[in-house]
Structure 1
Amino acid sequence: MQLPYLSDRKSYDDATELMAIFGADAGYEAAARADRSLDLGNHIHFCHWRQIERLIILLADDQPVGTIH
C-alpha cells in the first residue's frame, strides 16, 4: 500500500474524527464527502477527502506498514 500524503495535522484530525463518529463506516463517509466535493466542483476538497479515505484504511489496520527498525 502506498502511504497517503499528509499536508498537515488537519488530515489526521479529520480521519480520527470520522473514525470516532462512524466507526467501521468512516471510509465510506470520507468517500461520500469526496464525491460531494467533486459534484460541487471543489477539486481541492475532493483530493483531501480521498486522502482521508486512504488514511482511515491505514489507521484501521492492525499490522505495521513499511520498514520496521
Structure 2
Amino acid sequence: MQVPYLANRKSYEDAAELMTLFGADAGYEAAARADRSLDQGNHIHFCHWRQIERLIVLLAYNQPLGTIH
C-alpha cells in the first residue's frame, strides 16, 4: 500500500473525526464527500477527501505496515 501524503495536521484530524462519528463506515463517508466535491467541481476538496479515505484505511489496519526494524 502506498502511504498517503499528508499536507497538514487537518488531514489526520478529519480522518480521526470521521472514524469517531462513523466507525467502520468512515471510509465510505470520506468517499461520499469526495464524490460530492467532484460533482460540485471542487477538485481541491475532492483530492483532500480521497486522501482522507486512504488514510482511514491505513489508520484502521491493526498490523504494522512497511519495514520493521
| TM-score of the superposed pair, with normalisation by structure 1 | 0.98
What is the CA RMSD across the aligned residues, in angstroms? 0.4
SS of the equivalent of 1:2 reads coil
Identity over aligned residues, as a percent? Answer: 83
Please list every run of at least 4 consecutive aligned residues from structure 1 whose deviation after the TM superposition is greater than 3 angstroms. Answer: none
Count of residues in Structure 1 that have an aligned counterpart in Structure 2: 69
- Show the counterpart of 1:49: 49
Separation of aligned partners in 1, 2:67 and 2:20:
28
| TM-score of the superposed pair, with normalisation by structure 2 | 0.98
Separation of aligned partners in 2, 1:8 and 1:46:
16
> Structure 1: any 5+ residue segments left out of the alignment?
none
- Show the counterpart of 1:65: 65
* 1:67 Cα offset (Å): 1.2
> Structure 2: any 5+ residue segments left out of the alignment?
none
